[in-house]
Copies of this chain bind each other. A is one copy, B any other.
């Protein structure tokens, strides 16, 4: 089970509407190597894990990384919604992805950059632990490639902030799976880092995360479980030589960006003030303060 909290792992800045960019960022949501894939691969592998007791450190690793990935689909979702704010529905249809207007009301969808839906066929979960870890390493590698390419082809500050964050955090997972594999088999995949071969520190939007040590830190996204990850996530970081560490609790995070109403797609309504008024009444009845008053003040 999970506890969800209303924060994002990265601050998403606003910018000019960018429907074409938003379509490209969809690759990071619903592409074969997008965050839906990392989330669902690790999630399903944790459901099918056999020998949980005997192999606890590896179970904890996979289950805990799954938890962080949920935060990543949130960050991608917030980015796309932000990039579509203020675009005209007409422009979205004409030059971006028609589904963003016709289906999604200027929000995110679980599809890739070509509009193809994410599919459960992207999940690999063979039950063989060494093979699953090999897969996960490869998946993170493809994911890094995708993030780097979106970084290079989309200018919007939200997309840049997002990819800077995801490159660093995905890098941690790439290290984690390579290290797990090394501990089980002796294969030193970390020799191949970085893969793709671009040094992370060259990317300006990655630097703030590097500076606070995010790249060598695995956060435990849990009230108090998954403690045995420390048995696997250890040793030197393959690029920097710094000692890997496990931290708990995870950083506090950032508020979700505002997503104002977009009436030409009826989001949240053709006449949003009417339902906002109902909502205010309900809030007051339930003892919450009246936003209308507060704003008027």
Contact = CB atoms under 8 A, between A and B. Distances in A.
Interface in A140-182: 141-142, 145-146, 148-150, 152-154, 181
A62 to B, nearest CB: 11
Contact of A2 (B128, B221, B258, B291): B221
A196 interface: yes
B43 A73 contact: yes
B2 A4 contact: yes
A281 B128 CA distance: 20
One complex includes copies of this chain to the number of 6
Interface residues of A, number: 152
A193 to B, nearest CB: 9
Contacts of A146: 102
Contact of A3 (B2, B99, B234): B2
A111 B260 CA distance: 32
B5 A222 contact: yes
Given A126-B103, A266-B196, A270-B196, A55 B152 contact: no
24 contacts: A1-B250, A3-B3, A3-B221, A6-B226, A23-B98, A27-B102, A30-B120, A36-B120, A40-B110, A47-B78, A50-B106, A94-B153, A102-B113, A105-B128, A108-B125, A114-B114, A115-B115, A129-B268, A130-B192, A134-B138, A149-B266, A184-B275, A187-B192, A196-B269
